[in-house]
Amino acid sequence: DIQMTQSPSSLSASVGDRVTITCQASQDISHYLNWYQQKPGKAPKLLIYDASNLETGVPSRFSGSGSGTDFTFIISSLQPEDIATYYCQQYNNLPWTFGQGTKVEIK
């Protein structure tokens, strides 16, 4: 199975800050990576697909980049409603696997 490693596991930032989360795959997954947001008690929500494509309806302050084994997810200006846990997920090979999550909190 492909292992997905996210960092950091949690972070605290102020409203308006730029937030960066990284995800590293245990092998080359090309651009086959998605990012999800999960709020407490809710299902994950797709934000970014194919490493850098913004899902319809998702605010443009969210972005993603990377290919191969190293990927980055950015919130350009953190908003109070962005408090959540964020997950990366690879779909290069079955089984689809997820990172362990990054919990984002407001400072």
Partner 1 sequence: QVQLQQSGPGLVKPSQTLSLSCAISGDSVSSNSAAWNWVRQSPSRGLEWLGRTYYRSKWYNDYAVSVKSRVIINPDTSKNQFSLQLKSVTPEDTAVYYCARDYCSRTGCTRFQVWGQGTLVTVSS
Using rule CB under 8 A, residue 63 touches partner 1: no
Contacts of 23 (CB under 8 A, 6+ apart): 4, 5, 6, 33, 35, 66, 70, 71, 72, 73, 88, 99
Using rule CB under 8 A, residue 34 touches partner 1: yes
57 vs 96: CA distance, rounded Å: 24
**Amino acid type, 86:** Y
Q: How many residues bind partner 1 (CB under 8 A)?
A: 23
Of residues 14 and 56, the one with the C-beta less far from partner 1: 56
Using rule CB under 8 A, residue 28 touches partner 1: no
- Residues within the interface to partner 1 (CB under 8 A): 1, 32, 34, 36, 42-46, 49-50, 55, 87, 89, 91, 94-101
